[in-house]
Amino acid sequence: AALAAVKEWQTKSGDAFNRSNDGYHSLMERGFDSSVYILDPTSNPNRIQRSLRDLDSELKNTMKEEEKNGNAESDRMMAYGFVESVHLAFLHLIEKNQSLQAHNDALQVDINSLQAQIASIIPKATVEQGAQTDEAQLDRNIPKSIVEQYAQTDE
């Protein structure tokens, strides 16, 4: 729903943006572009970062132009502050998402390693002979350090 709403407003605003050379409109267009890239699950992370850099650059240029024209106290400047706040929030959320993804990837590597270690510890002869192995027997075969390491990652 969010992506559809952003695209709808982007489309509605597109004509005004195309007819104007106002930096405010260009800034809003960059904001819509960034929002679309962030919300679209198929967007390339590098494209998202590039759109946020473009938004930041456009914001700085537009604010300088407003100050040069003596509009530093206008309502438009408050809108620029809002855009800057949204931009920084986007950056924060994207960095947090990337950090969580890296953490998840590291945990998956740890899980795969533990599974390989456990598989190498379970007596292959027991498995090959079809004998049943109870949990107590498995617990005795797994070194305490591995059990403790697995328990820590589970918390």
Q: Is residue 85 part of a domain?
A: yes
Q: Is residue 37 part of a domain?
A: yes
**Distance between CA atoms of residues 91 and 88, nearest Å:** 5
Q: Is residue 150 part of a domain?
A: no
CA separation (Å) from 136 to 3, 59, 145? 53, 64, 17
- Which 8-state DSSP code applies to residue 57? H
Question: In the chain, what's the furthest Cα-to-Cα distance?
Answer: 87
Q: Is residue 109 part of a domain?
A: no
Per-residue pLDDT tens digits of the chain, which is 155 residues long: 888 888 888 888 887 777 777 777 888 888 889 999 988 989 998 999 999 999 999 989 888 888 888 877 777 777 777 788 888 888 888 888 888 998 999 999 889 888 888 888 876 545 555 555 555 555 555 666 666 666 665 55
Structural domains in the chain (count): 1
Q: How many CB atoms lie within 10 A of CB 117?
A: 15
The pTM of this model reads: 0.57
Domain range for 63? 2-98
Q: Is residue 11 part of a domain?
A: yes
